Structure 1
C-alpha cells in the first residue's frame, strides 16, 4: 500500500525542528530511523500532513562520557551503539539487547531514540534502559530541557512522556562498569519481536549477588522492572538451589498479552525460565 501524500522537512538544528512542531502541531509527525514509522504510513494507520526528519541534526547523534553516566543522542543508530567502546565498557546490557534487534540492515537505520519514543512493549531497548535506571532528556518548544526518569517515561501502550511539541534529545545511562549483564529473548522466528524478553544486570561480590536489576520485555503495556525478584536475589549465590524458585516469581503482578504467540500464563512461565538464565549469565555462573 502507498502512503497518503505528505510534505517533508529536514531541519538542520534542534531549534528549527521544535519550531516546526510548534507550528504544525498534530499535523506533523517526527521521523527518526523510520523503521517503525514507514510501515505504519504504508498501511495508512497514520496520515500526517508533514514529516519532520531529524536525521540532519548532528547534536542528536553519538555517545559521550558524561561523568557518572553515558549520554546517548536520541538519533544514534543501533549500529553505532554496537560499535561504541564506551557503551560496551559501561553499559554492556544495552549492547547485548541492541544486538538482538532485527537484522544488520535495520540496525544501520534504526535509532535508539526512535524505538524508545515508539514505545512498543515488545521492543528490545525499553526494558534494558529501564533496568539501567536511565534518564530521558526532553526538549520543549521554548528550548528548555527537562529530565524524566525511566519509570515515568513509559506511560502506556505506544505512549511516552514526550508531548507533541517536544523531542527526545538524549538518554543518560548511569555507568554500570564491572557489572555482569545478560539479555535473554524468546522468539519463534529469527529477527522477530520478542515474545518475552528479560534483561538482567548483576553486581557480584565473592560469588554472592550484591545487587540485581531485572527488566521485562512484552510482559505488559510498558517495559517493567521486577523489584520483588531483585530484592530476593540479593545475598544469594548464583549456584543457590532456590534461585530457580525465586526467578519463577518474576511474572507476579504483570499483565502479559495473550495472542497467537502464546497465552498470558505461557508467557509467565517463559519469563521465569529466561530470568534464571539471564541472572546466572550476568552473575558469571
Structure 2
C-alpha cells in the first residue's frame, strides 16, 4: 500500500476547498483519506484541526464569491454572544439575488441588502453589525436579542452606534420581527459587560423595582471604591452577577473583602448566579423582600 501523500504545509492547519487541494497536487482520491473530514460541501480539513466559524466561512465563500455570511453566522463572526444552540447550526450564507446557495453544511438565503449593510471582517464578507442585529430578531428570545444589542453598542469597544441600530430597525418596517426589535431598542444599554449581565438587567428592568442603576461606583467608609453591576441607591442594595471567574479562589477572597466593606458601609449585597437567571421569580422575591426590610 502506497504511503499517504502528506498535506502541503499551506493546507495543514485550516480548511481548504477542493479547488485548492487540486492546485496543490492532491487528487480526489487523497481527499477521501481517513485523516481528512469535510464539514461542508467542497470543503476539507485535517481531522485533528478544530474548525472555527471563520475558517469555514472563508472556505465556503471561496466557492460562492458573491455570497456573504448573515444571521447567527455573521453575529458569531462579529463576536456577539449567542445561545449555545447557534454554535451547532450550519453556517448561513446568502446571496443578494437569484437562488439561495445550497450544499451540505450550509443554510442558504436570498437576502436583499443595501451597500451600507455589508462589511468585511478578517477577509470575510458579511452583514454589517446593525443589519446582523435586525436579522437575528425572528429567531432570538427577547433577552438574547437585548444581550446581542448591548454587545454591539458597548462603551468599551462599540461595533455600531445606538442610532444606527434604530435606523436599521426603521428600514425593516413591516418585516418579520420588527415589533420585537422596537420593543428591544429602549431596553439596550452600552454599559452591559456580559450576556448574562444583560439577562439580569432585563429581569430587573421588567420587575418594577424602582430605579436600578447599572455599573455604579460606591465609595466605602474605608475609602475603597467598588463598581457594582447594579444598584438600587434608595434602598442601598448592590446586585452583583457572579460569573465563572468568581469561582477562582483568589477572586473569591477578593469578593469576600469587597462584600464585607460594602456591608460595613450600609449596603446590602445580593449575589446572583446563572441558576438565579433560570428562576427569576424566586430571585425577584428575594430582592423585593430585601427592599422591604431596608
TM-score range, shorter chain: under 0.3
Relative to its length, the structure with more helix (as a share) is: 2
TM-score (structure 2 length as normaliser): 0.27
Relative to its length, the structure with more strand (as a share) is: 1
State the structure with bigger RCO (CA 8 A, min sep 6), 1 or 2.
Answer: 1
Larger Rg: 2
TM-score (structure 1 length as normaliser): 0.28
